[in-house]
């Protein structure tokens, strides 16, 4: 029953949060209304999200987010330096094929998003079987190192969270 009423609990939580941010008023009334929305809207969109969602270890999410935010901040300085000071010829861009251990689409998406948001790399494409991610590195004198970092720093953590 609960499962059918709230097919994606995390989505419902997110929506309540979104509603609260929108109305910008932390009152009980708003929360009740938000809760209604948190139930109704996922029900409306449920057909477009078949299958279950959720995390196996949600408690690891905050740590992961912290890492990512820190990396984003770092990335911006790195990129700024490259954009402003590095001569064009010195740039060493590289394509990197990242073989994936992740299987869940949500997890793969999270990994790809992380890669894009962090320094010097953009996730560009998925292989036709979904088992590899194509990443472009802006300046990667050592592509192997980048690959390693992705696998260990992000993918491993995401695998724990999701699968």
Alpha-carbon distance of 54 to 70, in angstroms, equals 25
Rg of the chain in Å (alpha carbons): 19
* Binding partner at 155 among another protein, Na ion, none, C-beta below 5 to 8 Å by kind: none
Q: Are 19 and 33 in contact (CB under 8 A)?
A: yes
Alpha-carbon distance of 123 to 97, in angstroms, equals 10
Site membership for another protein, residue 105 (CB under 8 A): yes
Q: Are 54 and 14 in contact (CB under 8 A)?
A: no
Site membership for another protein, residue 30 (CB under 8 A): yes
Alpha-carbon distance of 43 to 160, in angstroms, equals 28
Site string for Na ion, 62-101 (x = CB under 5 A): ----------------------------------------
Binding residues for another protein (CB under 8 A): 11, 14-15, 18-24, 27-30, 32-33, 37, 41-42, 44-45, 47-50, 72-73, 75-76, 79-80, 83-84, 88, 91, 93, 95-97, 99-100, 102-106, 108-109, 112-113, 115-117, 119-132, 134, 136, 138
Binding residues for Na ion (CB under 5 A): 118, 121
């Amino acid at each position: 029953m609960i499962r059918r009423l709230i097919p994606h609990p995390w989505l419902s939580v997110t929506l309540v949060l979104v509603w609260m941010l929108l109305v910008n008023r932390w009152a009980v009334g708003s929360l009740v209304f938000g809760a209604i929305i948190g139930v109704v809207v996922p029900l409306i969109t449920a057909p477009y999200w078949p299958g279950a969602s959720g995390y196996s270890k949600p408690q690891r999410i905050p740590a992961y987010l912290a890492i990512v935010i820190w990396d984003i901040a770092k990335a911006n300085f790195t990129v700024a330096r490259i954009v402003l000071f590095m001569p064009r010829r010195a740039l060493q861009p590289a394509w990197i094929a990242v073989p994936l251990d992740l299987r869940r689409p949500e997890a793969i998406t999270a990994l790809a998003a992380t890669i894009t948001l962090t320094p010097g790399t953009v996730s560009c494409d998925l292989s036709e079987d979904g088992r590899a991610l194509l990443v472009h590195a802006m300046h990667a004198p050592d592509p192997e190192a980048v690959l390693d970092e992705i696998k260990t720093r992000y993918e491993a953590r995401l695998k724990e969270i999701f699968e």
